[in-house]
C-alpha cells in the first residue's frame, strides 16, 4: 500500500476541558498519514486518481476550527471519521493531533495523540 502524508498542518481551535481553553483557544498541529493505492495516479498523472491534499487540508481545518471537543482524542477521532467518510479510496488513516500549550505549569513541547483507523470488510470505520 502506498502512503501520502500531510505534515505540520496548523489550525486555531477552542478544544479543551477547561473553560478558558474554550474561550481563548490555541493552535493545534495535525498530521495525516494515508494508506492509499496511488498506482493509477503515478501512471496517469491525473488528480482524479489520487486525493487532492488541498481538499484534505480544508476538511481538516473545518473540523479543527469547528465545534469544540473536550479531548484531543475526540478531535483526532472526528478528523479520522470525516476524512474516511469523504474519501472512500483511503484504506487506512493515521491522525496525529498535537496540543502544543496544554494549560499546565509544566514545560514541554506539547502532547500528541495518534489514532489509526481503517475500513473493515463491510466498509465500517474501525480502529487498527
d(CA 30, CA 12): 11
Of 11, 93, 22, 10, which is closest to residue 51 (Cα–Cα)? 93
Q: Do 34 and 125 touch, CB atoms closer than 8 A?
A: no
Query: Which is the catalytic residue, given 3, 27, 61, 99?
Result: 99
CA-CA distance, 18 to 85, in Å (whole number)?
30
- Residue 3 pairs with which residues in a beta bridge? 35
Q: Clarify whether 99 is annotated catalytic.
A: yes
Please give the positions annotated as active site: 99
Amino acid at each position: 500500500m502506498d502512503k501520502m502524508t500531510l505534515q505540520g498542518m496548523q489550525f486555531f481551535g477552542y478544544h479543551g476541558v477547561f473553560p478558558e481553553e474554550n474561550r481563548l483557544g490555541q493552535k493545534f498541529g495535525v498530521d495525516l498519514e494515508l494508506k492509499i493505492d496511488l498506482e493509477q495516479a503515478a501512471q496517469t498523472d491525473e488528480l482524479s486518481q489520487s486525493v487532492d491534499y488541498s481538499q484534505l487540508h480544508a476538511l481538516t481545518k473545518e473540523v479543527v476550527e469547528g465545534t469544540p471537543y473536550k479531548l484531543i482524542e475526540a478531535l483526532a477521532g472526528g478528523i479520522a471519521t470525516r476524512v474516511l467518510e469523504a474519501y472512500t479510496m483511503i484504506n487506512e488513516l493515521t491522525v496525529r493531533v498535537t496540543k502544543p500549550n496544554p494549560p499546565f505549569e509544566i514545560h514541554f513541547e506539547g502532547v500528541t495523540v495518534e489514532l489509526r483507523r481503517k475500513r473493515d470488510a463491510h466498509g465500517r470505520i474501525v480502529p487498527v
